[in-house]
């Protein structure tokens, strides 16, 4: 059985906003600045996606560290004097591909909490048959819905596009980084074409800090509306609501 979560507003689906857990926010103070920026842009929900690398950490230790980081932010919000309603934070992970992940029993624990939605980062190299098979196992064996994060960043490595094309034909969701909509001509063209033609697409800021990689979802949404129209933006928001469905 599924049901809608209460947050049906503007969701930033890819962030490194939790402090001290990866290469994102370095402190609770920075996290609060990032939250303020998200709030000012009208964001009502944030999917916190710290990096998970199976070769660096086991799932239990990662989840414990994530919970500690999340709790520190919640304490800061609770003690804040500012009369602000901060975005709701959904705990998740940006899971880097690893051999055997399709059969990893604890993999569902890395999904957006309470859902069957897994955010997957693929290797930055030529994709091969093993990678494709692992993704298939995640979807068919584990029954998880895969969101392929910052899909536009892998193109340059795919000299042989056989696996690339096959993977993109799978029934998964593709996430595009907001900053890429302002990137080079080739990257912009790919992103806008993808957003226009594909049904299941999400936008995320992939924010890591307040200066070099800040929250910038509003800029991307403005560009999409201007170039493709409000209906396309509504399609993206609808996909976001689906991916936050709670599994009961």
Which residues of the chain register pLDDT less than 50? 1-6, 248
pLDDT at residue 83, rounded to an integer: 74
Which domain CATH number covers 153? Answer: 3.20.20.140
pLDDT at residue 7, rounded to an integer: 52
3-state secondary structure the chain: CEECCCCCCCEEEEECCCCCCCCCCCCHHHHHHHHHHHHHCCCCEEEECCEECCCCCCHHHHHHHHHHHHHHHHHHHHCCCCCCCCCEEEECCEEECCCCHHHCCCHHHHCCCCCCEEEEECCCCCCCHHHHHHHHHHHHCCCCEEEECCHHHHHHHCCCCHHHHHHHCCCCEEEEEHHHHHCCHHHHHHHHHHHHHCCCEEEECCECCCCCCCCCHHHHHHHHHHHHCHHHHHHHHHHHHHHCCEEC
pLDDT at residue 9, rounded to an integer: 82
- The reported pTM is 0.95
pLDDT at residue 247, rounded to an integer: 60
* Domain total in the chain: 1
- Which pLDDT tens digit goes with each residue over 102-132? 999 999 999 999 999 999 999 999 999 999 9
The domain in which residue 79 lies consists of 2-247
pLDDT at residue 245, rounded to an integer: 82
pLDDT at residue 84, rounded to an integer: 82
pLDDT at residue 70, rounded to an integer: 99
pLDDT at residue 38, rounded to an integer: 98
């Amino acid at each position: 059985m599924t049901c809608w979560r209460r947050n049906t507003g503007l969701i930033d689906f890819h962030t490194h906003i939790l402090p001290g857990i990866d290469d994102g926010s370095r402190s609770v103070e920075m996290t609060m600045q990032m939250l303020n920026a998200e709030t000012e842009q009208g964001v009502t929900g944030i999917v916190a996606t710290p990096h998970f690398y199976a070769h660096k950490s086991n799932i239990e230790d990662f989840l414990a560290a994530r919970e500690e980081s999340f709790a520190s932010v919640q304490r800061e919000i609770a003690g804040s004097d500012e009369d602000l309603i901060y975005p709701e934070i959904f705990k998740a992970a940006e899971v880097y591909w690893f051999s055997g992940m399709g059969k990893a029993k604890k993999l569902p624990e890395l999904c957006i909490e309470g859902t069957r939605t897994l955010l997957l980062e693929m290797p930055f190299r030529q994709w091969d048959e093993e990678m494709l098979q692992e993704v298939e196992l995640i979807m068919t064996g584990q029954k998880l819905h895969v969101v392929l994060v910052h899909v536009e960043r892998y193109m340059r490595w795919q000299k042989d596009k056989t696996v690339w094309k096959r993977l993109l034909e799978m029934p998964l969701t593709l996430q595009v980084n907001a900053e890429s909509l302002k990137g080079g001509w080739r990257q912009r063209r790919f992103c806008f074409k993808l957003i226009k033609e594909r049904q299941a697409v999400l936008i995320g800021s992939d924010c890591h800090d307040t200066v070099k990689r800040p929250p910038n979802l509003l800029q991307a949404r403005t560009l999409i509306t201007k170039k493709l129209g409000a209906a396309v933006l509504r399609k993206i928001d609808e996909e976001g609501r689906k991916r936050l469905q709670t599994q009961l």
